[in-house]
Amino acid sequence: MTNDTMANNPTIHLRVAVKEDCVRLLELVNELALYEKAPQEVTVAIEEFEAAGFGEKPVWKAYVAEVGGLVVGFALYYTRFSTWKGCRMYLEDFIVTEPMRGRGIGKLLFDQLIVEAKEKGFSGMVWQVLDWNEPALNFYAKYNAAVEAGWLNASLSKEQLLNY
């Protein structure tokens, strides 16, 4: 993957995630959840995480950024279908571990997602960002991303589904 930022940071290696990355990816998911003040919300088991990415019917794909052989960031997405817009990339998680921020790693990952979305012919790319996460909002502003107001998240937990 050629990129001007990559040339300026030769120790950063970007690649597609493999099953063996899953333990580290979940460590970073937990770091993200702690940052987002919701560590108790991460309940996925490693087996489910691995199966969802690398089982018979994988539903997600991720790019990882490595420095010195250690995964220091990743961007995980899946295909979402919008009845209004068609197939879109949904960015589920995007994190660079705190000590590695400010080195262009996030830009490398996000730019790779844009390339992938274009190659796959997606009608766009969507994600969520917390309204208080100023660093993330500032990052997305550099891409002129539209941040919509007025939509509220709704969900049913596994327990709620089972109890219905």
Q: What is the pLDDT of residues 54-89, one digit of tens each?
A: 999 999 999 999 999 999 999 999 999 999 999 999
Is 126 among the domain residues?
yes
Instruction: Write down the pLDDT at residue 36.
Output: 93
Is 137 among the domain residues?
no
Is 23 among the domain residues?
yes
pLDDT at 1 over 60: no
Is 75 among the domain residues?
yes
pLDDT at 117 over 50: yes
Is 9 among the domain residues?
yes
Instruction: Write down the pLDDT at residue 157.
Output: 87
Answer yes or no: are the C-beta atoms of 127 and 139 closer than 8 Å: no
pLDDT at 4 over 80: no
pLDDT at 5 over 80: no
Catalytic residues: 140
Instruction: Write down the pLDDT at residue 3.
Output: 42
One-letter amino acid for residue 7 of the chain: A
Range of the domain at 69: 4-130
Rounded to an integer, what distance in angstroms lies between the CA atom of residue 155 and that of residue 153?
7
Which CATH number fits the domain that encloses residue 98? 3.40.630.30
CA 101 to chain CA mean position, Å: 15
Please count the structural domains in the chain: 1
What would the pLDDT profile of 121-154 be if each residue is shown by its tens digit?
999 999 999 999 999 999 999 999 999 888 878 8
For the segment 158-164, the average pLDDT, to the nearest whole number, is 92
Instruction: Write down the pLDDT at residue 7.
Output: 41
36 vs 1, higher pLDDT: 36
Answer yes or no: are the C-beta atoms of 62 and 116 closer than 8 Å: no
What would the pLDDT profile of 103-115 be if each residue is shown by its tens digit?
999 999 999 999 9
Answer yes or no: are the C-beta atoms of 129 and 136 closer than 8 Å: yes
Is 38 among the domain residues?
yes
Is 163 among the domain residues?
no
pLDDT at 8 over 80: no
Is 12 among the domain residues?
yes
